[in-house]
Amino acid sequence: MLGAGLIGMFYTRALHGNRSRDRVHVLYSRSEQRARECAEAWGVEGWTTDMARAVNDPDTDVVVVGLPNALHKQAVLLAAQAGKAVLCTKPLATSTRDAMEMLEAVEKAGVFHGYLEDLVYNPKMLKTIEAIGKGALGRILWTRSRETHPGPHSAWFWDKAESGGGAIVDLGCHCIELSRAMVGKDVRPMEVMCWADTLVHPIEVEDSAIGLIRYETGAIGQFEVSWCFRGGMDLRDEVSGTEGTVWVNHWLRTGFEMFTTVGQEGYLAEKAEGDRGWLFPVGDELGELGYVAMFTDMLDALDSGSVPLESFYDGYVVNACMEACYRSIGSKGWAPVELPLWRGRAGVEKLSGQRDYDQRHTLIKEERMPDGRIKLILKEKATGSIVEGIR
C-alpha cells in the first residue's frame, strides 16, 4: 500500500474486510511518523519510507497506489519494472501524456493493471449499468453525475503542484467515468464544454466546475463538481434514455434519516457537516462508495487472469477528457477530446427518433389529457406541417 492518507485507510479497511484472505503487508508513506502510526493503527505488519523497497518487497504481490496524483507515475513505473500487478487510484495521471506512458509501461511489462474508480462499482451503479445493458432505458440521451462537498481533507489536494488541478481533477474524474459507464464505454467522447471558477476558497485551482461531454451518439454527459457545497457530500447520478430514467442518490438520501439533539462524540459519515439536528448517515459506507465490489472485481480478475471492469486504459480516457475540459475553460468554447489511442467503436450513428404514425404522418407525441382523451401531435410527411389529433 503506497499512501497513508484517508484513501489508504479506506483501501486497507476494504481489503482486510472484504475477501478476508487479503492482507496489506507493507505500507509506504513519505513521512516516517505517518507510516509507523498508520501501519500500527490499520494492522499492517511492515512500513517504509522508501517507495522502491515497498514495491520490490518479495511479500508484495500487488502494488496499490494511493498517493497524491503527481506521484502515481513514478509508482506505476516502479511496479511495471518490478513485474508486479498494480492498482492505481484516480485520477490515473496528471496529464494524458503521462497516462498513456503508464498504460504503455504496464502493457509492455505484461502486468495486471486496475484503475481504482470506485464509484462505478457502487452497487446501485452496477445495477443501473446492468439495466441499461438490458435496454431498460432505451437509447441513452443524458447523464448527470454530481459530486460536491465542502472540500478535501488533505493539503495536497489544494496544491496544484501535487494534484494537477482542483475539483475537476479530484471529483470530475469520477463523474466522467460514470458518464462513460452509463453512455457505453465503447462510445467515443467527442468534445467537451466546461466552466470552472474559484468562488470561495483562497486557492489557485478551481473549486467549482460544470462540464458537458458530447458523445458520438449525441448523448450528453453532464458533470457538476464543487468544493463549496454545504450540507455534507452530495453524490448523485441520473441517467435518462428514450425509454426510461434512473435517479441514484448515494449519500444524503439513502433511506436512513436521524434526528438527534445530543451531538455524537465522533464520526458519523465522511464529510458530514454537523452532528445535531437531522442527519443522513449511510448504512454501509465502504459498500456505497464501491470499495467492496471494486476490490472483489480487481482481485478476482487478477486471480483468474481476466481484465477488470476498470483498467488503466479507462484512466487514460478520463485524463483525456479532463484535459479537454481545461482547454475548453481556456478557449471559452467547445474543445475536442484528443484520444491518440481509441479502442472503442468508431463512426457510431447519431441518435434520432423517427416513428411513423401512419403512411402520411410521423408521430411526434401522444399524451393523455385531463378529460381522459389521448392527444396526438403528428407531422405530415409531405408538407412538414404539424397537426393535432385525438384518439
Query: 350-369: which residues touch its own copies (CB under 8 A)?
Result: 351-355, 362, 364-365, 367-369
For residue 344, give every residue at least 6 positions away whose Cβ sits within 8 Å of its Cβ, in sequence order, or none.
185, 186, 187, 188
CB of 303 to its own copies, least distance (A): 10
Site for its own copies (CB under 8 A): which residue of 52, 82, 190, 248? Answer: 248
Q: Which of residues 101 and 270 has its CB atom nearest to its own copies in the complex?
A: 270
CB 17 within 8 A of CB 295: no
Q: Which of residues 80 and 239 has its CB atom nearest to its own copies in the complex?
A: 239
Half-sphere exposure of 13 (CA within 13 A, CB side): 16
CB 190 within 8 A of CB 214: yes
For residue 374, give every residue at least 6 positions away whose Cβ sits within 8 Å of its Cβ, in sequence order, or none.
366, 367, 368, 390, 391
Q: Taking CB under 8 A as the criterion, which residues in 128-147 touch its own copies?
A: 128, 131, 134-138, 141-142, 144
Q: Taking CB under 8 A as the criterion, which residues in 68-107 touch its own copies?
A: none
CB 12 within 8 A of CB 1: yes
Q: Taking CB under 8 A as the criterion, which residues in 140-179 touch its own copies?
A: 141-142, 144, 148, 150-156, 158-159
Q: Which of residues 110 and 202 has its CB atom nearest to its own copies in the complex?
A: 202
Alpha-carbon 221 to chain mean position: 12
Backbone angles phi, psi at 151, to 5 degrees: 120, 155
With CB under 8 A as the rule, give the number of residues binding its own copies: 122
CB of 81 to its own copies, least distance (A): 31
Name the helix (H) or strand (E) containing 113. strand 113-116
Q: Taking CB under 8 A as the criterion, which residues in 108-127 touch its own copies?
A: 122-124, 126-127
Site for its own copies (CB under 8 A): which residue of 45, 199, 306, 307? Answer: 199
Q: Which of residues 3 and 241 has its CB atom nearest to its own copies in the complex?
A: 241
CB of 275 to its own copies, least distance (A): 8
Q: How far apart are CA 328 and CA 323, in angstroms?
A: 9
Q: Which of residues 111 and 219 has its CB atom nearest to its own copies in the complex?
A: 219
CB of 9 to its own copies, least distance (A): 8
Binding flags for its own copies, 371-390, as an x/- string (CB under 8 A): xx--x-x-x-----xxxx--
Q: How far apart are CA 25 and CA 17, in angstroms?
A: 15
CB of 73 to its own copies, least distance (A): 22
Half-sphere exposure of 254 (CA within 13 A, CB side): 23
CB of 107 to its own copies, least distance (A): 29
CB of 217 to its own copies, least distance (A): 9
For residue 274, give every residue at least 6 positions away whose Cβ sits within 8 Å of its Cβ, in sequence order, or none.
none
Helix (H, G, I), strand (E, B), or coil: what is residue 357?
strand
Q: Rounded to whole angstroms, what are the CA distances from 38 to 31, 41, 66, 128, 206?
A: 11, 5, 14, 36, 31
Q: Taking CB under 8 A as the criterion, which residues in 18-47 touch its own copies?
A: 19-21
Q: Taking CB under 8 A as the criterion, which residues in 249-288 touch its own copies?
A: 249-250, 253-262, 264-267, 270-281, 283-284, 287-288
Q: How far apart are CA 144 and CA 129, in angstroms?
A: 14
Q: How far apart are CA 65 and CA 90, in angstroms?
A: 9
Site for its own copies (CB under 8 A): which residue of 82, 109, 190, 203? Answer: 203
Q: Which of residues 343 and 350 has its CB atom nearest to its own copies in the complex?
A: 350
CB of 294 to its own copies, least distance (A): 13
CB of 67 to its own copies, least distance (A): 16
Binding flags for its own copies, 204-243, as an x/- string (CB under 8 A): ----x-x-x-x---xxx-x-x-xxxxxxx-x-----xxxx
CB of 222 to its own copies, least distance (A): 6
Strand partners, 335: 192
Q: Rounded to whole angstroms, what are the CA distances from 304 to 19, 59, 290, 299?
A: 15, 20, 21, 9
- Closest by Cα among 3, 4, 9, 5 to 286: 9
Q: Which of residues 53 and 127 has its CB atom nearest to its own copies in the complex?
A: 127
Q: Taking CB under 8 A as the criterion, which residues in 316-345 touch its own copies?
A: 331-334
